[in-house]
Amino acid sequence: MEILNNAFVDDEMRVLSESVNATVFKGALRMTAQEMVLSSAFPDILKVDDRLRLVATPNRYVGREADFLSNLDEFLKNGANNTCFDPRLVALLPSSVSPEFRAEIQRRGSEAPNAIEVRAIQSPPLSGGLAFKLHDTYGFPLDLTQDVCRERGVTVDVAGFDEAMAQQKAAGRAAGKFKMDKAVDYSGDANRFTGYEELVHTSKVVALYADGVRVDSLKQGQSGIVVLDTTPFYAESGGQVGDAGVLTAEGFEFGVQDTQKIKADVYGHHGVMTQGALKVGDTVDAKVDQFTRAATMRNHSVTHLMHKALREVLGAHVQQKGSLVDAEKTRFDFAHNAPVTPDQITEIERRVNAEILANAATDAAVMALDDAQKSGAMMLFGEKYGETVRVLTIGSSKELCGGTHVRRTGDIGLFKIVSEGGVAAGVRRIEAITGTNALEYTQGLESSLHSVAATLRAPPAEVQARLGQVLDQVKALEKEIAQLKGKLASSQGDELVNQAVDVNGLKVLAARLDGADAKTLRETMDKLKDKLKSAAIVLAAVEGDKVQLAAGVTKDAVGKVKAGELVNFVAQQVGGKGGGKPDMAMAGGTDASGLPNALKSVQGWVAERV
């Protein structure tokens, strides 16, 4: 990096150039994606993500923020010349550091030293809780805090930091669980999941819960959680919602509204006893709602195909940031720095629907994590995987996934993107639908098209052309109306000349022009000033409750009367304000009822000044 002459920056940049053909300053990206638009590195460098974060975060240059910002500015200005980075990423980098980003760096750069200086004055070590706060709130990794502390002769309570980190992770896991699970204490055997192969299974009830407390039975009308020894119900995981259905046998029925994990391998069936009573030890037929499951599987399977298409169309930097898959839709959040264009959406839809038409078989294989990595299966960044994983191949997509899926891509039926937008800096969200939902959606669009066509009296295929003609006609009519308003106001202006009152040698006129807009007010004002020669004028127009005001003063009088002051005086009486030049000013108001008295007050206001 010849452009980065400072030694401490050059070292870090050398590490980056050796490690990754991706974006720079990853830590900075996370703070202001408005400035550093790429929030994720390419998948092939995920293993060095921690190195990138430590090397690139601006907090590494504590006490040297000015040097960091200067070199960052220099890098951005010359970014296109740095061929060690992917040109697609370099092209997206901003040309300089914004004032907002600069202020953020300076603020963050002062947080840790201030805290550590206080600790150095008092007594070491720096508490683990404070070190964790620096990490969690201000973005300081532990090792960087240790570096700064070491320079000041302060040690860090690493054990306390680890404990605080563990507590936060535990709280995060607890917050993510179904609310009825938080107090459930289950210590029995794991249940067996058969939902990949079947939707109905005869199972035994091994535990029951009501209000989080373990009970022996559930009665009709009572809500609770049922744990089975074996279940075909899928528990919410990996973005896919839990299954619904029924647990039934002669004389009773339990309606399953949701399925959540009590533990990693223990599923809780949440619902209500709709008939009879259920006891621990009872045998039930566990039946998954096949229609809801089928729709959910279509949406989950198409999510994999869409993820693949997004990476092909937008670039390999696209990574999943979150998802929600249910029977209605798939909602997919991903790393990308700009809106997805209509043409790109069309291409994504084309690629996914081509995979659907190919009707390729879906294959799921359980294998060791190392083997999955060697097979080229995509792994989600930040996800924790066990030693054994499930690799799903569907069409041209291969990912690690434990969800339920269609048997063939053709089972998806149809794929349609219904919305795209931003949800956070550097994160976009797509919502898409499949199968009958997609069919109903397109039929609804077609119905709307036919309705519009009927209104325009044109065949559906000619709606766009016909609408263009209508808009042209509307523009022509609007222009004609504006001209007529101008003529009307002009004629009124000619009549207004005779209404001007002489106040100590200055003509004063305050009047209302019906049907005038701002442009007409200004044009009429200019004509009146020419005719009256020496004058102070206020013109008003009303539309509904809104008032438009224009004030004008001839050049010979601006030494005594200012148009801006005059129009503001009138505007305040109609619930508004305004201002402008000494000879011409505009204002608006929201109380038309006050206009008559406001116009009457103009003569007295001018008289006080001339």
Is residue 401 marked as binding?
yes
Place of tokens 């300081």: 140
Report the relative pairing of strands 200-210 and 213-215 from DSSP bridges: antiparallel
Whole-angstrom Cα distance, residue 11 to residue 14?
5
Nearest to 59 by CA among 98, 107, 103, 109: 109
Q: Is 434 helix (H, G, I), strand (E, B) or coil?
A: strand
Do the beta carbons of residue 566 and residue 557 sit within 8 Å? no
Whole-angstrom Cα distance, residue 76 to residue 71?
9
Do the beta carbons of residue 37 and residue 76 sit within 8 Å? no
* Angle between the N-to-C axes of helices 290-314 and 435-456, in degrees from 0 to 180, rounded to the nearest 10: 70
What dihedral angle (degrees, nearest 10) is formed by the CA atoms of 291, 293, 299, 301? -120
Region label for 347, one of left (φ > 0), alpha (ψ between -120 and 50) or beta (otherwise): alpha
Structure tokens at 123: 């007594």
Structure tokens at 209: 């819960």
Q: What is the DSSP letter of 328?
A: S
Edge to edge, the sheet with strand 546-553 lists: 501-503, 506-512, 535-543, 546-553, 584-589, 577-580
Whole-angstrom Cα distance, residue 527 to residue 119?
75
Structure tokens at 584: 């011409």
Do the beta carbons of residue 52 and residue 26 sit within 8 Å? yes
Nearest to 5 by CA among 78, 63, 58, 85: 78
Whole-angstrom Cα distance, residue 569 to residue 589?
12
Alpha carbon separation from 168 to 88, 156, 182, 343, 373 (Å, rounded)? 37, 19, 16, 43, 30
Report the helix count and the strand count for the chain, using DSSP H and E. 17, 24
Whole-angstrom Cα distance, residue 434 to residue 165?
41
Query: Using only C-alpha atoms, what is the Rg of the chain?
Result: 35
Q: What is the DSSP letter of 64?
A: -
Whole-angstrom Cα distance, residue 244 to residue 263?
19
Q: What stretches of 152-242 show up as alpha helix (H) in DSSP?
A: 158-176
Whole-angstrom Cα distance, residue 254 to residue 269?
9
Q: Which class for 7: exposed (0-12), middle (13-18), buried (19 or more C-beta within 10 A)? A: exposed
Structure tokens at 270: 């949440």
Q: Beta-carbon neighbour count of residue 405 at 10 Å?
A: 24
Place of tokens 């907090």: 59
Binding residues for Zn(2+): 300, 304, 401, 405
Binding residues: 300, 304, 401, 405
